[in-house]
Structure 1
Amino acid sequence: MPPKTLKSPCSNCKIETNHTINSEHREEGDPSEYHYTRRHQIVKCDGCDNLSFRKVFIDYENAWPTGDNEWETPTEIDIFPPISVAKIDYYFLPHIVGSIYRETCDAYSQGSLTLTGIGLRTTLEAICNDQAIAGKELSTRITNLATKGLISKKDSTRLHAIRFMGNDAAHDIKKPIKKNLDAALIIVEHLLTTVYLLDLETSGLDGMIDEYDDFEKLLIKKIADFKAGDSYPISKFFGKDIRKISGSTKKFEDELNKRIAKKDFLLLGMGTKGKFQGSKDDLQHYTLLTPASSK
């Protein structure tokens, strides 16, 4: 006989796929005592060859009629490992934040909805701790997330809803509604993405520079392409990346000049002022003293 096949969720494909039953242990309850069937199966996904364990419990005692000679029989199916609802790879998150997020998603996958509600609230606490967000109460810390610019005011309103849900689950032992947890997971994952994944420096995306520290970091990278003795305006060193500067470069050049004067920045020296590539005004030139790559 050919191997039996069935539809079952695959934790690797993360969808329901065709599975082949590799082995099965079947247990039948005595109809005179309690009529049931219990099956323990090892199944293999026909798409990715992932193995999983499947337990099926068919409860004939509680079947109910649905028509002439037709019955609906309660059937419970447990699958291990379950499909994780996590949309974010834990390895991209700080250890404690990733651990709590993973445990929360595991609780949801296993149907532990009350623990999931508590876990989502705890994930918010962990993010606030990691980001050093001030405040004794989570309500204050959520507001401070917006004040610090990590989230919008609209996002903070959504996070307060998760705080309420977590409080109800922890203090009133109130089981959250599944659709509310689905929405809460999306909100928390949006926060994780905003705080930890959308890092312009590591993503390779071009972002605007409006802080001096970011200006100096990019300047150090750009002057590595020049040689000692080269003397140019800032725009020449930056090249096309000058577009990343938010507004005029003057405020950044003023700070750079101060740092050069104090010998806090040793890669460049003050050069002469003069025209450059048809500029209307004289531009401050900077002379490369030591290639950045040698520092």
Structure 2
Amino acid sequence: MRSRKVRDGFEVTGFTGPVCPLVYLSPEGRPELVSADSGRLLRWDVDSGRLAAYFQVPENAANDVLEIKSLVLPDGLVRIAAGDEFGFCLWDGESGLLLSDAVGGDRIYQVAAGVLNDGRALFVGAGVEGVHLWEPVGGRLLSSPLQHLGDVVAVALASLTDGRSLLVTGDYEGVRRWQGEFCEATFGAGIEAPHIDMLTTANLENGRTLIVGVVEEGEAVCCWDAETGQEVRPPISMEGEFVRIAVASVSGRMRLFAAGDEVVRQWDLLSGEPVEEALPGSYVSAVSLPDGSALLATGTRDGKLTTRRLS
């Protein structure tokens, strides 16, 4: 693999196939970057673009690209997690040590992470058998899979203005919200939306949280208020059947990044207006930085990883 400086970031080429990036903030507030390609995880130095560490690979690592998520625990530990056809995998974010492998024995479509209002840190996953919950220190299952009304394929965690936490799930009929110690009780009415493919959440500066979802097999991205379930604005039309999304704040405005058809496009999340130029990529990750800028990372199907700082 070869790394070189590009505009406001760096570019790495030479991956053997698709590459999925993950950017997040360390316990000290520094941006970190991990890439996943063909069952392999690598950590990169964000400033230089140099390879910093290899993660331990599961024995049954699939050739599929893992879509990874990060979680910084209240005590400063960092966890990286992913789901695959065998179950839930968990790594220590600093050492790259594999802490648990194939937990749950279920195919996991999407993983989400967060710290609930009662202080509990949690990973959740959408699986064939239902919704799974894991504790993030060692990856232990917290309960039996939560039975879902439909085939759950997407999950996210959201917070309300009063501090309560919600689990948000997506299926082929729409979005559902859950609360309770193990997210077992419904919250509000279901949000009708055709064929949810992916979910994430956006926390606004006024304390309001939005649910952002890819619908209709990648035809559009919708945005709902997490508390009321009301649609915030008309859907944004997308291009491509495989669409991945990320959100981050740039200069005080929440921005949507959507990757589809090898192109990453940007919009103002609240207004739906297009922002700046398009970038190459089929996978995307973004994180808000303390100085008001954002770090964007994109990955292509032909093996290129790129970062860019946006301000």
**TM-score in terms of structure 1 length:** 0.21
Q: Greater Rg, structure 1 or structure 2?
A: 1
Instruction: Decide which structure has greater helix share.
Output: 1
Please report the TM-score for the alignment, with normalisation by the length of structure 2. Answer: 0.21
Q: Which has the higher strand share?
A: 2
